[in-house]
Structure 1
Amino acid sequence: MTTNSTTLDTIQHLFAEVTRYPRELLTPNADLEEDLGIDSVKLGEILAVLREYFGLESRLTDDIREIRTIATIAALLEDRLGRPQAMPAAASQLPAVNNQQDLLAQVTSVIAEVTRYPIELLTPNADLEEDLGIDSVKLGEILAVLREHFGLESRLTDDIREIRTITTIAALLEDRLDRPQAMPAAAPAIIVSQLPAANNQQDLLAQVTNVVAEVTRYPIELLAPNAELEEDLGIDSVKLGEILAVLREHFGLESRLTDDIREIRTIATIAALLRARCEQSQAVVQAA
């Protein structure tokens, strides 16, 4: 199968952005793990950004191990974009977990990769925020990678605040892997009562700005609400896809904010789309 050069070029750009590798190193047929050192955790992070960028509602493959090269991803993407979105796979197709300790080790490995913490520091019962300094934004990033890694079609919990330790994450995962995946919910995609508190428009804007600052490492003072994301801040569509993936996890969204990522030009736009989603869900709840 001949791969469209535009698709391949976009994927290579995304890989370069997430891995910080020079573009010329990312040849289409290089083995991701053996030649480039990209393990399944980092690949999960890349695939989470890809799903957001291309607006995919389900994962590219039921077995992440079959993805060996960038060319493989491009072929899978072209196949997916050329047909209707697939329904989520059954739980039996999720990655195998031999026991509770194995699951805990996988979760710990993902957290170490995302946070760059030494794995020895990540004890199972350490408080994520108080002991490890992992706030809700970073936790959202971790959960986005875990969802991709384990092929989960919905979030682990309706309230991210209930996740206090690595043990909690492993327990929620174990419960999810023991039962069939739920079918995607019909609209509304979120329930207002399950959202992190956003008391007003400014509070919502502040939360979005905080997420953008965490993902980009920009000083928060730089992130003016109406600054142009690409022209003023240098945030391209790949980095924006990464931000939106974290926001979806942080706010518990089951579907993307917009069908066209190009319509998002500012942080204020993101906050407005989030507010509209909240109001839409509130109206449905009140009408029920």
Structure 2
Amino acid sequence: MKMERLFKEAWKSEIDSGIYLSKDMKTELIEKVISQEGERTTRGKWIYPMVLTSFVVGVAFLLLISIQNVPFGLMVTSNQQINNEFGLRELIFTEKNYWMLGAIILEIVTVLLFFRVIKNTKRWEAVLLTRIMTKYLTTLPRNLIIQGLICIVIGMGIFYSSLTIIKYLTVFFVMMLNCLVSLWIIRGLDRASCPHCRHQFSRKELFKMTWAPYSLKCIQCNENIYQSQHSKKKSIVFIWLPLVSHYGLGFLGIPFQIMIFSFILVGLFFNFYIINFTTSFSKKDEPLW
């Protein structure tokens, strides 16, 4: 709103006093007003779609369970009483339905966090998917419809899957959440640079430097640089999160091979991508911890 007011004042001043505004300045002011208007309409609107989507999926979940487990003859016969074995308690409290409900909750959180990460990561603004989402998902109803449809479609797939597949999907959603949380933490960060010459290291350079000895030299200026203490402390979060989440999967009876495979994939994602944005260097040798 502030930029819009400034734009109107500058335009009025040009008309009244004949002050010349260049074409580039006019274009820049208009783009700032439009971008701020888009931010104003979408900022802080994530709670409502999350709650509403969760409610819709929950109601659909209970309705489908009732329809699937109650014979058709009992539903169409108004005078016949449903036996107690078809009660709602017996329909819900089964092992498959417990896993199904947990997988659907993880799926909803994964979808919502995926959209948040894509739209809020600045360095992905030129990516095709980000441009499409920025162009078409600018209002709350559009966000709600798209995210709700995706959640319902995936939820329907979970509902009609076997118990084994639901367990595998649970591991997949846990793995995705680990990656998405890591991406959310680094959404505003860029690759590390030299504290002396400010040279920004490439991904290949950073990968070599992270596995090199403790004391390093900048490739550009050949000055000694050291991994900062802040960088080491930040890495702890990315270690404990997958450890705790996959350790919890072990208590749920997930096969050890599947759990380790998921953990290795999260570790590879961290070492080949996340570490490029969590690593930082200092001029002086700092304590390890």
Identify the TM-score tier after normalising by the shorter chain.
Answer: under 0.3
Which protein is richer in helix relative to its size?
Answer: 2
Give the TM-score taking structure 1 as reference length.
Answer: 0.23
Q: State the TM-score, normalizing by the size of structure 2.
A: 0.23
- The answer to which structure, 1 or 2, has the higher relative contact order (CA under 8 A, 6+ apart) is 1
